[in-house]
């Protein structure tokens, strides 16, 4: 088990993400729309606006989750067929 002091804060993470670097989740469909966190709970697909923080996400190496830049205490989570954003729960299923 890693101590909190041993966790990297930059570079590449365990899952191929750059640690603490903002990124967009881009659709492979022709319009190339991006995921956006709406109302701190729902995630929908919208057109890209690079300055919109709700469309940016980052990988947190400590909790090993993808978090929203706008809501740093919330992480992406699958709920059935839907992608939602909820309070960070870093337990493994």
Tell me the pLDDT band of 48, cut-offs 50, 70 and 90.
very high
- Please report, for the chain, the start and end positions of each structural domain, with discontinuous segments joined by +: 4-87
Q: Would you say the pTM of this structure is higher than 0.85? A: no
Distance CA 77, CA 65 (A): 9
The single-letter DSSP state of residue 65 is: E
29 within 8 A of 47, measured Cβ to Cβ = no
19 within 8 A of 10, measured Cβ to Cβ = yes
The single-letter DSSP state of residue 17 is: P
Q: What is the pLDDT of residue 2?
A: 53
Distance CA 88, CA 58 (A): 13
What architecture (CATH level 2) is domain 4-87?
Answer: Trefoil (2.80)
């Amino acid at each position: 088990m890693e101590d909190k002091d041993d966790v990297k804060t930059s570079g590449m993470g365990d899952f191929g993400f750059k640690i603490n670097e903002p990124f967009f989740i881009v659709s492979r469909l022709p319009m190339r729309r991006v995921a956006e966190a709406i109302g701190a709970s729902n995630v929908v697909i919208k057109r890209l606006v690079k300055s919109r923080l709700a469309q940016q996400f980052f990988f947190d190496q400590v909790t090993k989750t993808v978090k929203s830049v706008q809501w740093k205490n919330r992480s992406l989570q699958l709920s059935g067929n839907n992608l939602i954003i909820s309070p960070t729960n870093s337990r493994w299923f």
